[in-house]
Amino acid sequence: MLISVETSKDFDKVVQDVQEASKARKYGVMSVYEVHNILQNKGFPIDYKCTIVEICNPKAASQALSKKAEISTAMPCRISVIEQEGKVTLSTVAPTYLLSQYNVPELEELAKSVEEDIKSIMEEAAK
């Protein structure tokens, strides 16, 4: 399940605001990938801007990984900021959906909490 939020803000400002909102909610910014620039530099350009901000809450990560190491394949959480056809959109895959793929029902509440945090980060960055 994809979660998306549209904004009228400038693309670069949204990327910056995602990072700031993440830090304010105790999520570390792991990496920022300017996908459109990376692909351009490799000779495979795309016709829109796309930046991925990877974020992680250490406490939540530790709880999830303590239950099942393979959950690491879905980490860290990623928020994509896309500017296409004059629209800027923030998108992520719902943590509840991702965690449901690992058959660890005791982590359902944790996934819901992380999902609410990420939605709030996206909504705050979009304002």
DSSP three-state, residue 39: helix
- Distance separating alpha carbons of residues 97 and 62, to the nearest angstrom: 19
Q: Distance between CA 24 and CA 33 in Å, rounded?
A: 21
- Please tell me what DSSP assigns to residue 10: -
Q: What total number of domains does the chain contain?
A: 1
The single-letter code of the amino acid at 61 is: A
- pLDDT tens string 11-62: 999 999 999 999 999 999 999 999 999 999 999 999 999 999 999 999 999 9
CATH number at residue 45: 3.30.310.70
Over residues 61-106, the pLDDT tens digits come to 999 999 999 999 999 999 999 999 999 999 999 999 999 999 999 9
Range of the domain at 71: 2-126
Q: From residue 61, give the alpha-carbon distance in Å to each of 18, 25, 49, 90, 114.
A: 19, 14, 29, 22, 10
